[in-house]
Amino acid sequence: MDVDTRTLRYFVELAEQLHFTRAAERLFVSQPSLSRRIRRLEADLRTPLFERTGREVLLTPAGEAFLPAARQLIVDWQAAQRTARVEAAARARILRVGFAASGAGTLGTRAYAAFMKRHPDVSVEPKRFDWGGEVAALREGVVDAAFVWFPAETAGLHVEVVRVEQRWVGLAAGHPLAGRDAVSIHDLSAEPIVWTRQAPREWVDWWAVNPRPDGGEPVWGPENDNVEEMLEHVASASAICISPESMTSHYTRPDLAWRPIPDIPPLRIALCRPLTAVNDLAADFAALVRHLSQDESER
């Protein structure tokens, strides 16, 4: 029988959650779709993997035995994909650099230009991902290095903080707070804030400043999957957003106003690359970014 890794991931998630609704939400699929996948896997294996008793879901002995093997199959397949992608890029003299939204601001743009000047035989491919997607792209070998916004799960990666940016609030141009030079996080307590299911909850909470300094929770506004959707919500006055300073220049619009929030911690941006299966060009790029970052901090 042939089983794709998506089915294995569905099985592993359900085995960890032991709850169809929670597992489906974490996988961003419908519960019926998840149920069909699991039933098909059990039919192919000719044995039940889960016991369904009322609202309770439990692993059968066969499911418990299958779980570590399924996890290892996923890891092995990811490693195989990563090795092939990295090798192909290295042989083609391509450096792929991941980022989200405004990435590392002008530091990234200057680094691309300087790297291509030093290595005229190399093609640099900046690759933009939605919220938090650059870390997964590193692990999958889709990119060789990435500018990562903290907080992030960086186990198994080489991490070097290269830039620190103050966080700013994005407002509709006509918002009452847009007339101020700066905004306190306390001024935003009643403002709905956009958020996403695409990124880990820790990442979402940090950007939303949850909990707030008074211990309260933000007012959760509309969801978004990417920066363009986020800014549409903000411009239409349905919510606010909190973003790094570089976004204020990368995403200038007449219907948006950006104001600094001086009383919350700044964003740390790291250049990350895998510890193994690395395109050698990534180390050269990291050294250049480090040099440019040091020059920037000394100004």
Judgement on whether residues 172 and 253 belong to the same structural domain of the protein: yes
For residues 201 and 224, give the distance between their C-alpha atoms in angstroms, rounded to a whole number.
Answer: 14
The tens digit of pLDDT for each residue in 181-214 reads: 999 999 999 999 999 988 888 999 999 999 999 9
Sheet hosting strand 241-244, strand order edge to edge: 241-244, 167-172, 256-260
Judgement on whether residues 148 and 234 belong to the same structural domain of the protein: no
Judgement on whether residues 130 and 218 belong to the same structural domain of the protein: no
| Comparison of pLDDT for 201 and 265, the residue scoring more | 265
Answer whether the bond into residue 211 is a cis peptide, omega within 30°.
yes
> Which pLDDT band holds residue 50 (cuts at 50, 70, 90)?
very high
Judgement on whether residues 137 and 285 belong to the same structural domain of the protein: yes
Which CATH number is 76's domain given?
A: 1.10.10.10
Which CATH number is 184's domain given?
A: 3.40.190.10
Judgement on whether residues 101 and 223 belong to the same structural domain of the protein: no
Judgement on whether residues 160 and 275 belong to the same structural domain of the protein: yes
Q: Which amino acid is at 295?
A: D
Q: Report the length, in residues, of the chain.
A: 299
Q: What is the mean pLDDT of residues 236-255?
A: 95
For residues 22 and 213, give the distance between their C-alpha atoms in angstroms, rounded to a whole number.
Answer: 30
| Comparison of pLDDT for 45 and 79, the residue scoring more | 45
The total number of structural domains in the chain stands at 3
For residues 264 and 189, give the distance between their C-alpha atoms in angstroms, rounded to a whole number.
Answer: 13
Judgement on whether residues 136 and 108 belong to the same structural domain of the protein: yes
Q: Which pTM was predicted?
A: 0.77
Residue pair 240/152 in contact (Cβ under 8 Å)? The answer is: no
- Domain boundary among the residues 56, 83, 110 is at 83
Question: Is the pLDDT at 149 greater than 90, yes or no?
Answer: yes
Q: What is the mean pLDDT of residues 21-49?
A: 92
- Domain boundary among the residues 52, 83, 114 is at 83
Question: Is the pLDDT at 278 greater than 90, yes or no?
Answer: no
Question: Is the pLDDT at 2 greater than 80, yes or no?
Answer: no
Q: What is the mean pLDDT of residues 17-26?
A: 91
Instruction: Look up the domain containing 119 and give its range.
Output: 92-165+268-298
Q: Residue 25, Cβ neighbours under 10 Å: how many?
A: 16
Place of tokens 């050698």: 280
Judgement on whether residues 35 and 76 belong to the same structural domain of the protein: yes
Short-list 271, 291, 294, 297, CA closest to 282: 271
For residues 284 and 160, give the distance between their C-alpha atoms in angstroms, rounded to a whole number.
Answer: 14
Judgement on whether residues 14 and 125 belong to the same structural domain of the protein: no
Judgement on whether residues 156 and 172 belong to the same structural domain of the protein: no
Query: For a pLDDT cut of 90, what percent of the chain falls above it?
Result: 75
Question: Is the pLDDT at 277 greater than 70, yes or no?
Answer: no
For residues 87 and 181, give the distance between their C-alpha atoms in angstroms, rounded to a whole number.
Answer: 50
Q: What is the mean pLDDT of residues 137-158?
A: 91
Judgement on whether residues 34 and 108 belong to the same structural domain of the protein: no
Per-residue pLDDT, 109:
94
Question: Is the pLDDT at 274 greater than 90, yes or no?
Answer: no
DSSP 64-107: HHHHHHHHHHHHHHHHHHHHHHHHHHHHTTEEEEEEETTTTTHH
Place of tokens 């909990």: 211
Query: For a pLDDT cut of 70, what percent of the chain falls above it?
Result: 99
Instruction: Enter the DSSP assignment of 240.
Output: B
Residue pair 95/115 in contact (Cβ under 8 Å)? The answer is: yes
Tokens of 65: 């035995």
Q: What is the mean pLDDT of residues 68-79?
A: 89
Judgement on whether residues 73 and 159 belong to the same structural domain of the protein: no
- Domain boundary among the residues 62, 83, 104 is at 83
Q: Mean of the per-residue pLDDT values for the chain?
A: 92
